[in-house]
Amino acid sequence: MSAAARPLILAYHAVSSTWDSPLAVTEEALEQQAAYLRRRGYRGLTMAEAERLRTDGELPARTVVFTFDDGYRSTLRAAGILERHGYPGTVFAVTAFPASGAHLSWPGIEHELTDATAEQLEPLSWDDLAGLRDRGWEVGSHTVTHALLTAADDAALAAELGDSRQAIAHRLGACATIAYPYGVGDARVAAAARAAGYLAGCTLTGAHLDDEPHRRPRVGMTSADTGTRLRAKVSPVGVALRRSGAARSVRRLRRQRDWIPAAGSAE
217 and 226 Cβ atoms separated by less than 8 Å: no
Which residue, 89 or 181, has its beta carbon nearer to Zn ion? 181
Contact indicator for 140, 93 with CB cutoff of 8 Å:
yes
Helix (H) or strand (E) holding 90: strand 90-93
Where does this chain touch Zn ion (CB under 5 A) — which range of 51-59, 61-69, 194-202, 231-239? 61-69
User: Burial of 14 by CB count in 10 Å (0-12 exposed, 13-18 middle, 19+ buried)?
Assistant: buried
Window of 31-39, 69-77, 198-206, 259-267 that interacts with Zn ion by CB under 5 A:
69-77
CA within 13 Å, CB half, 26: 10
CA trace torsion 148, 153, 156, 159 (10° rounding): 100
- Binding-site residue total for Zn ion (CB under 5 A)? 3
Q: Whose Cβ is closer to Zn ion: residue 92's or residue 137's?
A: 92
Range in contact with Zn ion (rule: CB under 5 A) among 3-11, 173-181, 184-192, 254-262? 173-181
Site for Zn ion in 175-194 (CB under 5 A): 181
Please identify which residue in 27, 49, 70, 160 interacts with Zn ion, judged by CB under 5 A: 70
By CB under 5 A, tell whether 160 contacts Zn ion.
no
Write down the least CB distance from residue 36 to Zn ion, Å. 25
Q: How far is the CB of 146 from Zn ion (least distance, A)?
A: 6
- Rounded to 10 deg, the angle between the 154-172 and 187-195 helix axes is 40
Residue 92, classified by CB atoms within 10 Å of its CB into exposed (0-12), middle (13-18) or buried (19+), is: buried
User: Taking contact as CB under 5 A, which single stretch among the options 38-46, 67-75, 118-126, 132-140 is the one that binds Zn ion?
Assistant: 67-75
* Orientation angle between helical segments 227-234 and 27-39, nearest 10 degrees: 60
Residue 69 as a binder of Zn ion (CB under 5 A): the answer is yes
CB of 110 to Zn ion, least distance (A): 13
Distance in Å, CB of 55 to Zn ion, minimum? 26
Shortest spacing between CB 49 and Zn ion, in angstroms? 22
Between 83 and 163, CB nearer to Zn ion? 163
Q: Distance between CA 160 and CA 201 in Å, rounded?
A: 14
CB of 66 to Zn ion, least distance (A): 16
- Per-residue CA distances from 154 to 107, 214, 238 (Å): 20, 17, 36
Q: How far apart are CA 203 and CA 11, in angstroms?
A: 9
112 binds Zn ion (CB under 5 A): no
* Shortest spacing between CB 228 and Zn ion, in angstroms: 29
Residue 110: other Cβ atoms inside 10 A: 10
Nearest CB to Zn ion, comparing residues 62 and 77: 77
Q: Which residues bind Zn ion (CB under 5 A)?
A: 69-70, 181
